[in-house]
A and B are shown apart, each in its own frame.
Chain A
Amino acid sequence: MSKKNGADELAYVRDLPGFKPNNPTYFEQEAIDHLIGIVLELGGELWTLRDRMAYMEELLRDSGSKVLEKLDAGRPSDALQAKLSAERKEFISRVYSRLYSRYGGDKAQHTTAPM
């Protein structure tokens, strides 16, 4: 944009607090900020599961199914295990990777033990 359109006059907005996303910290110990975020996130995840489990168990009981007995003895199908594995990795990254945002570790890939 040209100068006469006022682009330079508005350049200062880029430096306004809140213009760029950042990671504000409110406690002297940054880890405490992270932990509160994690605890809140886990509460949401836990409640979502409790709600879903309770509803599923009600549906299963109503239908006379014996599936509930198999829940602990069995294991999900290979396809569902693969789906859960991918979702679990995403869940862990989403909930916890912020712990290492200070040095860019939140962008690190999942790996196995070093070979």
Chain B
Amino acid sequence: MSISDPLYVRGKIAGVYPSLSSRRDEAYIEFVEDARNALLHGQQAPIAAYSRDLLKKAGASMTPDKASCDAAEKILMQDPALKTYYRVKRSLQESFWNGIRSSFNMRRDAILAAMDAAVTKGPGTVTLDPDMPMPEYSQAQIHLQPGAYAYEELGGLFYDYGLKVFMGGAADNDNLPKMVARIVRVPADGKVTRVLDLGCSAGATTTALKLAHPDAEVTGIDIAAPMVRYAHLRAVEQNIDVHFKQMNAEKMAFPDNHFDAVLSMLLFHELPPEASRRVLEESFRVLRPGGAMTILDFTSVDDRDVYNMWFAEMDSKDNGEPFLPPFVRSNIEKTIAAVGFKMEPFDPKNSLRTGRVCIKPLQQ
């Protein structure tokens, strides 16, 4: 019997995800996933056009400042179709967490025991830091995930399966992490000895980075112990040699000039801007001169009109994204430059979200 058997008691689904505890639970979640694809993802383009039309007919300001967003909300949330959309969005988000949590809780003790047993197994390692001070922002229940990332022992597993549902199939077979790993910028000299995955969550991008750079030492850090514990078990199951550490990216325990490449996949919009600045400063410190940092995240306010700025504000309120609007409004490009990075162009067709490539100059 393998240590990961309790995780994969009904096998895997979509290539990499542990199956839910029964076919009944699975059918329920398949329904929620398809409902999201039809009633949320599929609506993005038509509902944006409809909303902008409503705003224009009302003579609303289309600039993305806060006052215009507040005015837009008053106009848009009078509309029954838009009220319905946001009700459906909230309900489906609650549905998928409820379905995932109740299903995995049925074999909770066995999964926790498997994660404990995996701590000493390789390939790769996991290092926990139970005495690490946890910043207050870590308590935010991002995406409404039960227990937040750090305070529910099955948080990594919930997040992993939640991503499958949230992405509606786009992340199946780790396709999304593998795509991300392929587009992570490497230094101009091509030398990639050490790679760092910031805010690695369930470790899917970390293992994908190892597959893309098999000769490099790849490390994933996350502030949440449940994430790195689960990520390690997931990597052990796939026999991929990566290292996970529970660590705050604001204060990393790595030497200066240590990494050749750093990835941040959808981390910064889940941090307050003050923390983001410290993470960027630390990333600059641990990258070697000529090293490259790739940031994949949401667009800044300068690339938005009032509709998609307001959409981000609705997401913050209704989907547990308290730091998304401050992130968007912070124009992180300015902070990237302020800490010393030189930004290089990134092909927007390459990524899920906007990419920012940050190079640590050879001469400082």
A residues apposed to B, CB below 8 Å: 29-31, 34, 71-76, 84-85, 88-89, 92-93, 96-97, 99-105, 108-115
Contact = CB atoms under 8 A, between A and B. Distances in A.
A110 B38 contact: yes
Enumerate the 6 nearest inter-chain pairs by beta-carbon distance, A residue then B residue, closest first: A103-B50, A112-B168, A72-B22, A102-B81, A30-B80, A112-B170
A104 B47 CA distance: 9
B34 interface: yes
A34 B10 CA distance: 38
A111 B50 CA distance: 18
A104 B168 CA distance: 22
23 contacts: A31-B80, A71-B23, A73-B23, A75-B11, A75-B19, A88-B31, A89-B34, A89-B37, A92-B39, A93-B38, A97-B38, A99-B39, A99-B84, A100-B46, A103-B46, A108-B38, A108-B45, A108-B46, A111-B37, A112-B168, A112-B169, A113-B167, A113-B168
A92 B30 contact: no
Given A110-B37, A114-B44, A100 B81 contact: yes
Contacts of B87: 31
Nearest to B19: A75
Contacts of A76: 23
Contacts, number: 108
Contact of B43 (A31, A74, A105): A105
Nearest to B179: A115
Given A85-B34, A110-B38, A114-B44, 20 more contacts: A31-B83, A72-B22, A72-B24, A75-B10, A75-B11, A76-B23, A84-B30, A89-B38, A96-B38, A97-B38, A97-B39, A100-B43, A101-B81, A102-B79, A103-B46, A105-B42, A105-B46, A112-B169, A112-B170, A115-B352
B352 A112 contact: no
Given A31-B83, A74-B23, A75-B23, A113 B41 contact: yes
B268 to A, nearest CB: 19
B208 to A, nearest CB: 16
B168 A92 contact: no
Contacts of A102: 50, 79-81
B178 to A, nearest CB: 13
A85 B85 CA distance: 23
A97 B87 CA distance: 14
Interface residues of B, number: 38
Q: Is the interface of A mostly helix, strand, loop or mixed?
A: helix
Interface in B1-48: 10-11, 19, 22-24, 26, 30-31, 34-35, 37-39, 41-47
A113 B43 CA distance: 11
Contacts of B11: 75
Given A34-B84, A104-B46, A113 B39 contact: no
Contacts of A84: 30
B88 interface: yes
Nearest to A97: B38
A47 B31 CA distance: 17
Nearest to A28: B80
A112 B44 contact: no
A44 B168 CA distance: 27
Contacts of B104: none
Contact of A112 (B24, B26, B41, B46): B41
B166 interface: yes
A100 B85 contact: yes
Contacts of A99: 39, 81, 84-85, 88
A75 B30 contact: no
Nearest to A27: B80
A31 B84 contact: yes
A114 B23 CA distance: 28
Contact of A110 (B42, B47, B81): B42
A88 B10 contact: no
Given A88-B30, A89-B34, A113 B84 contact: no
